[in-house]
A and B are shown apart, each in its own frame.
Chain A
Amino acid sequence: MDSTDNNNIVPPVITTTSTSTTSTTTTATTAAATTATTNAAPSTVSSGGATNDQEDVGVSNASVNESLAGLSHHKQGIPDGSYRSVDVNGQWIANKLKEREHLYTEKKNMTIFLGTWNVNGKKPQEPLDPWLCDPAMPLQPDIYAIGFQELDLTAEALLLGDTTRSLPWEQKILESISNEYVKIMSRQLVGILLCVYVKKEHRQHITMERSDIATVGIMGMMGNKGGVAIRFKFYNTSICILNSHLNAHLENILRRNQDMKDIAKNIKFVVEDNNIITMFDHDQLFWIGDLNYRIPLPDAEVKEKIKKKDFYSLFLHDQLYQQMKSGAAFEGFQEPPISFAPTYKYDAGTDVYDSSEKKRTPAWCDRVLWKTSKTAENVGILTYRRHELLSSDHRPVSGSFIIKVRAVIPEVKNRIYQEIVKELDKKENDSMPDATISTNLIDFESVKFMVPVTRTIVLENVGQVIARFKFIPKLNEKILCKPWLKISPFAGIMLPKEKITIELTVYVDSTTSYAFNVANETMDDILILHLENGKDYFISIMGSWKPTCFGNTLENLVRYQGPLVGTQPMPVEQKKLSIPKELWRMVDSLYSNNGMAEENLFIVSGVSKEIEQIKECLDTGTPFPAFSNHSMAEVIIRFLEALCDPVIPFTLYQQALDGSSAVLSCKTLVSHLPSVNYNVFFYLISFLTEVLSHHDQNSLSADKLAIVFSTVLLRPSPTNSALVQQSTDATIVKKKADFIKHFIHSHNNI
């Protein structure tokens, strides 16, 4: 459930990123913007921080991953797939099914028989047929609810809760009603017993059977008066039956009224989902029993009216009728018209009203009432009668009614269920995001060292809902794309009909050129663009890389005897060149072109067109075109700067700085360089010494040259952001220059 809630949470990362990206145009600013916004976002992005490399400005995944860390964080809140949880769907379907109940149910008339008899403590003697299966009964009832009072007047029942006396009565019931019936439930409270039976064919449609009792005896503790209730669901209709024995005696009207209210208040049932309901939470409520209301008229008058069968005028004096009319008790209950003589009090075994000294006035103590809920259809009255069983001082009474229930038509319900399920599927599928993508193939064509190439993809939301997209890594991979590729934006959100342009930029610098120049990897990849809750798009990336000495390694370059373009490297074990021939070609051409005498050589910039031509010639092996010495000098610097690992390798950078003030430690360090690096280092030193010897023409000094060359020969690893940041500090610049200067000065001494 909470996962559904989570689904609504848009992490700040996504929102901010997407707003920034829609407005950005150039790749550089996008990179900055992305980094800025993600850094500004709250702690969602914290996981990426530790190894973050701020120097990675030009290209790449760094900021991307940092933001993605935020995304994946968000993802954790929603276990994949579970927010379209089965339970939630099931619930929705159940609700819809309920709404359409009228379509797959049919009304059926059911009859219910309710009987009540105060047996005055007698054990069963005569068959109950005259009461329970009166041949005059128009229909065989679907349900029997049979209530007794004073079934057990013994002290054991009262004090110990002994219920053994009920068994013979239940036995007697079964003898009368046919074996087409099964018991749903019975419940006893001392002398009050209620048994409910149903026709076998309906048994499976009786559900949620519950019972409860309520005592209204002395201080509510003794069960000699009170009520027993059984409730259940019959098809779709909830039914509650209460059998009660209220307090006796003519004058106790208010007491009886109060008994009724106490019982009604105290009866409770626990039903589905732990809901607690009362008697009044049912479609049909029947209240039967010895309610003990009397007729406050002189005995002779009552008997006279009975003799004349003038029940109507007698009924007008009935206490229960009076109480119900005034609303003092049994509010909202109804009773079928009484057309039978009072059922109390007889001399047991006879047809004679009480002949004892007490001479109790006859009364309708035994009644059947009902109350239909406002939302249910009222019952139909079939019969309301008394029955001539003589063993007690009461006569049994019965009321039978028609109840309308709704029965499920299984085939129809099944069909409607399927319709609902299909409807949900359709809604779900329609509400999935959909987008079109302008191309699935991006070809960067020819890619050059440190020259960014950008291609765009247009993504358009053609679905009916907001589409959230993001690039995702392949299985078992952690990065979205190769480090030489930058995706901007890599995640975002589109309103329906909205388009977004995604820029893909390849940029290969010395941190990524190794793959192509040395490891011979191709520029192929497949990106996965994922629409949240929807489809994935594959985007193939292609590009062609021309091998170049820029962004290469010294070790690799000395394996090429010919130009990089078009020659194969010599096998590793074979003899190598002592230094890269490209370096030799450049230095040599400066010599030939009288470069040594050029004023401010290495200080003045070259001409970019010439620089590009020189680079091209270096890689293809073709002769240099006419060039200015400044252009050639700049290419030398750029060549050294682009080496994947500088002449003094990254691993020795810190050591070189630390020892820069001591000649000896600098020399020791250099003597331990790999042989190619060592060769190149001294080749350059001798060249610089040569340059310095022309200082009257070129106005250069050892200091100037040391500063220029130390920045390219002695570089910190770009992955170490702290070192990179410090490397332009004045003290560090000086240390680096000092390192080189030791060699330029003392060259002749080595």
Chain B
Amino acid sequence: MNNNNKIFQFKLVLLGEAAVGKSSLVLRFVRGHFLDYQESTIGAAFLAQTVCLNDTTVKFEIWDTAGQERYHTLAPMYYRGAQAAIVVYDIRSQDSFERAIKWVKELQRQGSPNIVIALAGNKLDLAAKRKVETAEAQQYAEENGLLFMETSAKTAQNVNELFVEIAKKLPKTPNPRPGSGRLPIPPIENNNQRKKPCCSN
């Protein structure tokens, strides 16, 4: 417990189809509440939350992203440099599960090399309308080395647990590199060298 004072900082990003409950999971984890009408995210929201483990403290810098397909191309801005990702789907929607798998693949291809990925089947409180079987998702997660949990942002079931599991799995290197916790702002160059609307050649 002497180690308590060591804080390791990690960037975590939430990905997944719109309306699966990404923002709700963050809200539950960070603020401890749930909104039946959660405004949809058009952009990316940033929050911080710390998890105390037995011997270390892990601070998450959480980026919640927009799930709409039209913003897909902007997602790399947010998962770039992230050491952890939660890919969320709605257990009532096979489509959202398929989309989650696509996200996992994209992260494995283009995310940080040792990124810890967790797959979260959300809205567990609505299990009566389940379309994605636990075993199916579990198996996919195992085959791909992902953490897996079914959660409910509404009842808080498994929400803290999910973040704690991620915190445990993250490598605690002695010299924590917080990655690019904030949005990297690339250098701006003057835009005067416009594409010449020229046909002379």
Interface residues of A (CB under 8 A from B): 48, 50-53, 56, 60-62, 64-66, 68-69, 71-72, 75, 80-82, 84, 86, 89-90, 93-94, 410, 413-414, 417-418, 421-422, 424-425, 428-429, 432, 440, 472-480, 483, 510-515, 518, 526, 528-530, 533-538, 540, 553-556, 644-645, 649-652, 674, 717, 719
Contact B7 A414 (CB under 8 A): no
Contact B44 A535 (CB under 8 A): yes
Tell me whether B184 is interfacial, beta carbon within 8 Å: yes
Tell me whether B135 is interfacial, beta carbon within 8 Å: no
Partner among A81, A94, A422, A480 whose Cβ is within 8 Å of the Cβ of B180? A81
How many Å lie between the Cα of A518 and that of B188 in the bound state?
28
How many Å lie between the Cα of A13 and that of B140 in the bound state?
51
Known: A80-B183, A475-B74. A60 touches B191 (CB 8 A): yes
Complex contacts, A66 vs chain B, CB 8 Å: 190
Partner among A80, A84, A90, A514 whose Cβ is within 8 Å of the Cβ of B195? A514
Partner among B5, B52, B188 whose Cβ is within 8 Å of the Cβ of A71? B188
How many Å lie between the Cα of A94 and that of B179 in the bound state?
24
How many Å lie between the Cα of A529 and that of B43 in the bound state?
9
Closest to B1 in A: A410
- A-B contacts, CB under 8 A, total: 181
User: Which of B74, B176, B192 has the most A CB atoms < 10 Å from its CB?
Assistant: B192
Contact B7 A649 (CB under 8 A): no
Partner among B71, B185, B186, B200 whose Cβ is within 8 Å of the Cβ of A476? B186
Q: How far does the Cβ of B86 sit from chain A's closest Cβ, in whole Å?
A: 18
Contact B66 A538 (CB under 8 A): yes
Known: A56-B192, A511-B197. A417 touches B4 (CB 8 A): yes
How many Å lie between the Cα of A75 and that of B188 in the bound state?
11
How many Å lie between the Cα of A529 and that of B70 in the bound state?
16
Contact B181 A538 (CB under 8 A): no
Partner among B6, B45, B199, B200 whose Cβ is within 8 Å of the Cβ of A90? B6
Contact B192 A53 (CB under 8 A): yes
How many Å lie between the Cα of A475 and that of B197 in the bound state?
25
Complex contacts, B36 vs chain A, CB 8 Å: none
Partner among B45, B59, B192 whose Cβ is within 8 Å of the Cβ of A51? B192
Complex contacts, B8 vs chain A, CB 8 Å: 86
Complex contacts, B35 vs chain A, CB 8 Å: none
Contact B185 A80 (CB under 8 A): yes
Known: A69-B188, A80-B180, A81-B178. A538 touches B42 (CB 8 A): yes
Interchain residue pairs A-B with the least CB separation, the first 6: A514-B197, A81-B181, A644-B197, A649-B200, A68-B188, A537-B43
How many Å lie between the Cα of A247 and that of B200 in the bound state?
105
Tell me whether B189 is interfacial, beta carbon within 8 Å: yes
Tell me whether B113 is interfacial, beta carbon within 8 Å: no
Contact B9 A511 (CB under 8 A): no
Partner among B11, B74, B188, B199 whose Cβ is within 8 Å of the Cβ of A554? B199
Tell me whether B30 is interfacial, beta carbon within 8 Å: yes
Contact A472 B46 (CB under 8 A): no
Contact B43 A719 (CB under 8 A): no
Closest to B66 in A: A538
Q: How far does the Cβ of A143 sit from chain B's closest Cβ, in whole Å?
A: 22
A-B contacts, 22 listed (Cβ < 8 Å): A48-B190, A65-B188, A81-B61, A81-B179, A81-B181, A90-B5, A93-B7, A413-B1, A421-B50, A421-B57, A472-B183, A479-B188, A483-B194, A512-B197, A515-B195, A528-B77, A536-B45, A537-B43, A553-B199, A645-B197, A649-B198, A717-B196
